Amino acid sequence: MSVYVYQCTRCSEVFMVLLRNPETDQLPACPNCHSTAIQPQLSEVDGLNQAGRSSTPAESCSTNGRFT
């Protein structure tokens, strides 16, 4: 299962939903206004900061795969 972020086109509420497959699972209604007019949104990936760079510098990894 994955977490997907949607925005309601009616009230602009942004919300997250846990789905197995957004292509086949029934999409939820907005929790604020109950509209089914929702649009998928891009979400920030864990481990990346706002600039899209890793929050941990690459120098912290050694050649044996362990953190220093």
Residues 9-63 have pLDDT tens digits of 999 999 999 998 878 889 899 999 999 999 999 876 544 444 555 444 444 455 5
pLDDT greater at residue 3 or residue 52:
3
pLDDT attached to residue 60: 46
pLDDT in the model for residue 22: 79
Neighbouring C-beta atoms of residue 10, cutoff 10 Å:
14
Q: What is the pLDDT of residue 41?
A: 93
Domain ranges, ordered by start, for the chain: 1-68
Pairwise CA distance, residues 53 & 19, whole Å: 27
